[in-house]
Amino acid sequence: TAQSYVTPLSAVSTFIGHDHGLFIDGDWRAAKGTERLDVFDPSTGEPIASVANASPDDVDHAVRAAHKAFESGVWSGIAPAERERLLLKFADLVEANAEELAQIETLNQGKSINISRFVDVGGAPAYMRYVAGLTTKITGETFDVSIGAIPGARFTASTRREPIGVVGAIAPWNFPMMIGLWKIMPALAAGCTVVLKPSEVTPLTSLRLASLAKEAGLPAGVLNVITGDGKAGKALVDHPLVAKITFTGSTATGKAIARSASDRLLRTSLELGGKNPAIFLADAPIEQAVQGAILGGFFNNGQVCAASSRLYIARAIYDPFIKALAHAVDGMTMGPGLDTAAQINPVVSLQHRAKILDHIARARQDGAQIVAGGESPDRAGYYVRPTVVVGAGAQLAISRQEVFGPLVTVTPFDDEDEAINLANDTEMGLTASLWTNDLKKTMDLVPRIKAGTVWVNCHNLIDPNMPFGGYKESGIGRDFGIHSLDGYSEVKSVCIAH
């Protein structure tokens, strides 16, 4: 409706329409390469911007700028309190420009403006301040060596944490600005310099972040932002002056990065895909279970690494649950991200919609049944109706591969052992949720679930203080928490004879 449709700020169209170039060494630079990338509005399918596709020369330019800034000590050599102050200023500027950032994110990514406002952008300042605060808490230890005794001499050892160097940060398209910040903030807080490459599908908010970092006073070369596709990402991974890659994206790309990285033992942290289970025990109230399934499975149109895409339901509540879920999903209103009343929005790209529709077609061929959704409506934009699949055996592609769209599979179980076996029957291990009010069962079952995060009676809740990352093929390393800076530093032991 007219009342629920947000009219974009004029600053947003000015920003989107401008050809920014690449942000290297503290300023906007024309790309050396000539390739361009079109950026689309998923709600219309129309191009809204064009950005440079960074060439290997451009990547080299950015990495050298970051390296020069690192070696000069303009960032790693200043007082931690000064780094903290600048990062807090950066957070203040994100907060001050929140509505503009949220609108850019929605226009480029397709997601609901409610999510952009309250999660992607709304959550950013608190996260940024949490990490900025860690800048001044980096410490080592001092201890007597345990066995290094030589008559007449004593040895005292200490450890120091030193920033690792230039960090290459590679981000996906589902939460472009938010995950970009998860990659760059701990690196900057630790004293590293950064080259950020957002996804080629959603580069716009990262470009805006670059200008805000400059406005905050981060020295030239400390944060560089280059737009480009997977070739630019690979050039970043392969650059000899990059000391660490922090990556969030698909498991397939994560494995490719790990293979390239192995040649020179490049440090990596990899936050990868998920095929996450939600287990609803028989005591879970149906209404709460349906709400939980919708939040877990369809939030951000299912384009969430943590999404509960596999629902396991106790047989006793299976029939009423399916009926209520299919009804609720069929009733979800669909519309562009700028419509605050729309509950389902377009997925991010034409290619991604085709991939989701392929998964649905294959599930049908494999004998699974669609009880809600299952198609793309006849309208412009990259829409897919929210979809509920039943009767999908554990070995079917739809049960094993990450669809990353508004789709859940639902499967009954007879006892809790079966539920745990089904939940763990996956190569992935990012998140899971358990829905019950039975304390004993909760305490018994949580340790048996192989996932980096297990939620009980909630799903998709993340917090800067709560480590987040994957078991198995969902990744290596953890974002968030007080140890999130550790991956951006090396430990140096210093041993003093006296």
Interface residues with ligand NAD (CB under 6 A)?
170-174, 179, 197, 199-200, 229-230, 233-234, 237, 248-250, 253, 256-257, 271-274, 305, 402, 404, 430, 470, 475
Burial of 182 (C-beta count, 10 Å sphere; 0-12/13-18/19+): buried
- Could you tell me the smallest distance in angstroms from the CB atom of residue 245 to ligand NAD? 8
Region of residue 395 (left: phi > 0; alpha: psi -120 to 50; beta: else): alpha
Residue among 219 and 230 whose Cβ is closer to ligand NAD: 230
CA dist., res. 407 & res. 309, Å (int) = 7
Residue among 76 and 276 whose Cβ is closer to ligand NAD: 276
SS3 state of residue 410: strand
- Could you tell me the smallest distance in angstroms from the CB atom of residue 112 to ligand NAD? 17
Residue among 200 and 339 whose Cβ is closer to ligand NAD: 200
- Could you tell me the smallest distance in angstroms from the CB atom of residue 352 to ligand NAD? 8
Cα angle for residues 490, 496, 498 (degrees, 5° grid): 170
Residue among 339 and 479 whose Cβ is closer to ligand NAD: 479
Q: Which long-range contacts (CB under 8 A, 24 or more apart) does 60-63 make?
A: 60/235, 60/239, 61/22, 61/24, 61/25, 61/29, 61/32, 62/22, 62/24, 62/195, 62/224, 62/226, 63/166, 63/168, 63/195, 63/236, 63/239, 63/241, 63/242
498: amino acid identity, one letter: H
**Residue keyed to tokens 């969030």:** 248
Considering the candidates 84, 271, 402, 416, report the single residue annotated as catalytic: 271
Which structure tokens are listed for 393? Answer: 């055996």
Please give the span between the terminal C-alpha atoms of the chain, in angstroms, as a whole number.
77
Task: Please provide residue 158's backbone torsions phi and psi, each rounded to the nearest 5 degrees.
Answer: -145, 165
Residue (of 224, 178, 172) closest to 198 by Cα position: 172
Which structure tokens are listed for 419? Answer: 């539920």
Burial of 11 (C-beta count, 10 Å sphere; 0-12/13-18/19+): middle
CA dist., res. 82 & res. 90, Å (int) = 12
- Could you tell me the smallest distance in angstroms from the CB atom of residue 416 to ligand NAD? 27
Residue among 328 and 384 whose Cβ is closer to ligand NAD: 384
Cα angle for residues 200, 206, 209 (degrees, 5° grid): 170
Residue among 224 and 253 whose Cβ is closer to ligand NAD: 253
- Could you tell me the smallest distance in angstroms from the CB atom of residue 264 to ligand NAD? 15
Residue among 170 and 322 whose Cβ is closer to ligand NAD: 170
347 close to 359: Cβ distance less than 8 angstroms:
no
| Residue 495 host element (H or E) | strand 489-497
349 close to 48: Cβ distance less than 8 angstroms:
no
Measured from each CB, the residue nearest to ligand NAD is 233
86 close to 70: Cβ distance less than 8 angstroms:
no
| Strand order, beta sheet including 489-497 | 142-144, 155-163, 489-497
- Could you tell me the smallest distance in angstroms from the CB atom of residue 11 to ligand NAD? 26
- Could you tell me the smallest distance in angstroms from the CB atom of residue 66 to ligand NAD? 17
Residue among 8 and 230 whose Cβ is closer to ligand NAD: 230
- Could you tell me the smallest distance in angstroms from the CB atom of residue 272 to ligand NAD? 5
Active site residue 100: no
311 close to 411: Cβ distance less than 8 angstroms:
yes
Residue among 257 and 322 whose Cβ is closer to ligand NAD: 257
- Could you tell me the smallest distance in angstroms from the CB atom of residue 198 to ligand NAD? 6
Q: Which residues are catalytic?
A: 271
